[in-house]
Amino acid sequence: MTANPVVSKYAMALFNVAMDKKVTGDLFRYLKALKNLFSENPAFAGFLLNPEIPAKKKMSVIQKITDQGDASALFHDFLDLLFSRGRMALIPDITDAYEELYRESKGEIDVTVFTPFSLTEDQKMTLQAFIQKARPGKSVVIREKEDKKLIGGIKLELEGRTYDGTAAGWLKQSEHVLKGE
């Protein structure tokens, strides 16, 4: 989960309410769509984050682009809370934390793989099989991120830990060993 305790609390509270109402998946889709709008449409993000525009007007726009139902009502209530507390800028991070909780509840492990190049399908399948052996009964979801600064190897982030198998990581680890740290 995220290092920001405010984000963690909002995500956990929202997830718990969504679990009670049995709308975790629908709510996740709403959150993901809003996060995508934030990143793909800076004008829309600016509209939502502008303190001079009343929250009611912002909510009116959001209600027009979402359908009705339990998930929609919870989504609207949650956004209303974020607007009233001035926390709307946290929605991308809250979405990421919620996604982690959602995937965990489905028995999925979210793995971020940093490489200097795109992995082939065979490499992805091999990595997925390796992680599934270490975490039996879990489904592995791999997210790739290219990092051209990496010299060689890969770096993995899963379950809140980072596993650095890059050339730079090995050199740094060797340096600590040689220094006696």
Any idea what the CATH number is for the domain that residue 23 is in? 1.10.520.20
Q: Domain range holding 117?
A: 109-179
Residues 35 and 82 in one domain: yes
97-106 burial, b at 16+ Cβ within 10 Å, e below that, comes to bbbbbbbeee
Residues 113 and 99 in one domain: no
Which of 68, 103, 138 marks a domain boundary? 103
Tell me the pairing of strands 155-158 and 139-146: unpaired
DSSP H or E run through 157: strand 155-158
Q: Is the dihedral of CA 105, 81, 77, 64 positive or negative?
A: negative
> For residue 1, what pLDDT band results from cuts at 50, 70 and 90?
low
Q: What pTM was estimated for this model as a whole?
A: 0.71
In the chain, the number of structural domains is 2
- pLDDT digits 0-9 by tens, 19-39: 999 999 999 999 999 999 889
CATH code of 132's domain? 3.40.30
> What is the residue-averaged pLDDT of the chain?
88
- pLDDT digits 0-9 by tens, 114-160: 998 888 999 999 999 998 898 888 888 888 988 888 888 889 988 77
* DSSP code string of 65-108: HS--SHHHHHHHHHHHHHHHHT-GGGHHHHHHHHHHHHHHHTTE
Residues 36 and 74 in one domain: yes
